[in-house]
Structure 1
């Protein structure tokens, strides 16, 4: 039977069910135990599974990730949480030097079945280091998988796939849509393959690629251009690494146009990689310049400025129209 859940509830359900299925899973991090996480994603996990399997840690991201490496090598499946993705930088050395490279370094002797979870992105009027979109930093590192869901249904299915994966997965959760809407989510386990994008709606005039919280804003923009006789094919990338290149390349071959919408800064962002792939694989099909609509090349602003930073449905709609009318 499906339940109607928001993203927080869907992720919590995935954790509950997977911990019941597999006793090697441990969940720990900053305030995940007694408080159930800063956004209450891990609420009641400690009550059900006890302090040995769900526990709080010091505010020491490098130690959180470093201990997970040791646990994963020795037979556990750790799921660690950092309160915000912007707090992941102290753990950067562990993630690059050990998490991403252990399988290669040991020539396949060791693998790290671990998940690093963090609330990600802006839009909740938070303070400094709470609103970054850092997916490009980690997607560029071989050995890491980077997943960003956009719906409660996808969040549960992708997280279960991440937990069961025998390699490390960074699971970035767009906090702006944690409680923005509800969706039917089945009880019991189901998996959504990591590395497979989703065509949310088919279209003929332009391909729009996005992920995370921005997908919802693109959908609002599509409604705005409907009366202008513009048919949009919307692709939710879902997984930044590995990237489902075929999904948007084949789409562009049909539509002849592409717009990438993401919240992170423009320079060296994921949008640049997508457009490069399109230029390599579908250049002769293009009828307009491949286009990016993104955040700015600045530090994410404090609350009073964030509405000027994140692409709005109005800006997205105008850009869609500009590309189609080129």
Structure 2
């Protein structure tokens, strides 16, 4: 296996799929140039460097710099998908979905259903999400709970470079619209990536990253690593934790969560989105409804407070879930009587 950074796994997978399938096209703000560059094969490929070199390799007809208009980007991607292309559209920040929510929610997500299964919309919408860079309330949000609640969309949240590779390839080859969420703080993370050019990970299959008998911890994205650190620390005390990486929130691997809770009897859900009407609340409700008889303690959610994300470094740190907060949540369900 090769060592690869998260951002490079994004880039290499897109390049491989573009080389394999001429219907794959890339579009978005600064996907050719970025940061004031003039564009061309030496351009950095956007502010996240996830499309570097694609323009030089595939040309202007398949790598399209767009205006700063999320509505235009997603509207164009919708039309491209309906007409036989496989667009990979980039929204620079997930926070901007509000500008193009009609195209995503009322159009892309409903095409197949409203046309009686006679059409398909094989579009991927990539978004950078998450806090930790002191980018304040309008550039730091986790929006997966909004998108997960929209029928017709598939929502993917990879936690490792290997999962980026396998899940993004699956997304590009899928015939339905896929929201592909990349945490900004993970772009520089390195890890092993399979060499198989057809390596794919099916949607709706969670990954068990730690195994234990005492508590089930469920998370995704950046916070998965925090959960693993807590599990490793508690293992030294003889406390065993199942750590489940959701990988996709829609479809959701309910079986993996319920099977684990039936053994451990305790659930802690860790999520970066706000708590009200969020993913953590949804998973706690799922387990309470379907595995109530197995529970030894009420499910616990570790999330930020229901407030906008602060700008100040100290306040942002206090806002976000942390290793200490996750550990406290685990100890709370362990100590419940």
Q: TM-score, normalised by structure 1?
A: 0.97
- Whether 1:256 and 2:265 are equivalent positions in the alignment is yes
- Whether 1:317 and 2:317 are equivalent positions in the alignment is no
Structure 2 SS opposite 1:52:
coil
Report how far residue 303 of structure 1 moved: 4.1
Structure 1 SS opposite 2:128:
strand
Q: Contact 1:5–1:152 at 8 Å: present in 2 too?
A: yes
Gaps of 5+ in 2: 35-44
Report how far residue 178 of structure 1 moved: 1.1
Alignment correspondent of 2:37? none
Report how far residue 281 of structure 1 moved: 1.2
Q: Contact 1:126–1:303 at 8 Å: present in 2 too?
A: no
Q: Contact 1:5–1:185 at 8 Å: present in 2 too?
A: no
Report how far residue 187 of structure 1 moved: 5.1
Report how far residue 128 of structure 1 moved: 3.7
| Equivalent position to 1:167, from 148, 158, 176 | 176
Whole-angstrom distance in 2 between the partners of 1:235 and 1:171: 19
Structure 1 SS opposite 2:141:
coil
Counterparts of 1:21-60 in structure 2 under 5 Å?
21-35=20-34, 36-60=45-69
| Equivalent position to 1:147, from 148, 153, 156 | 156
Whole-angstrom distance in 2 between the partners of 1:245 and 1:203: 18
Report how far residue 266 of structure 1 moved: 0.9
Q: Contact 1:3–1:187 at 8 Å: present in 2 too?
A: no
Whole-angstrom distance in 2 between the partners of 1:119 and 1:266: 20
Whole-angstrom distance in 1 between the partners of 2:164 and 2:193: 12
Counterparts of 1:25-174 in structure 2 under 5 Å?
25-35=24-34, 36-174=45-183
Q: Contact 1:30–1:81 at 8 Å: present in 2 too?
A: yes
Gaps of 5+ in 1: none
- Cα deviations across residues 192-211 of structure 1 (Å, max 9, x unaligned)? 00111111121100000000
Alignment correspondent of 1:227? 236
Q: Contact 2:136–2:309 at 8 Å: present in 1 too?
A: no
> RMSD across aligned C-alpha pairs, in angstroms?
1.1
Alignment correspondent of 1:269? 278
Q: Contact 1:225–1:321 at 8 Å: present in 2 too?
A: no
Q: Contact 1:17–1:189 at 8 Å: present in 2 too?
A: no
Report how far residue 3 of structure 1 moved: 1.6
Q: Contact 1:114–1:166 at 8 Å: present in 2 too?
A: yes
Report how far residue 96 of structure 1 moved: 1.0
Alignment correspondent of 1:7? 6
Aligned residues: 325
Counterparts of 1:152-231 in structure 2 under 5 Å?
152-186=161-195, 188-231=197-240
Q: Point out the more displaced range, 9-18 or 298-307.
A: 298-307
Report how far residue 126 of structure 1 moved: 1.8
Report how far residue 108 of structure 1 moved: 1.3
Gap change, CA 1:187 and 1:13, over 3 Å in 2 = farther
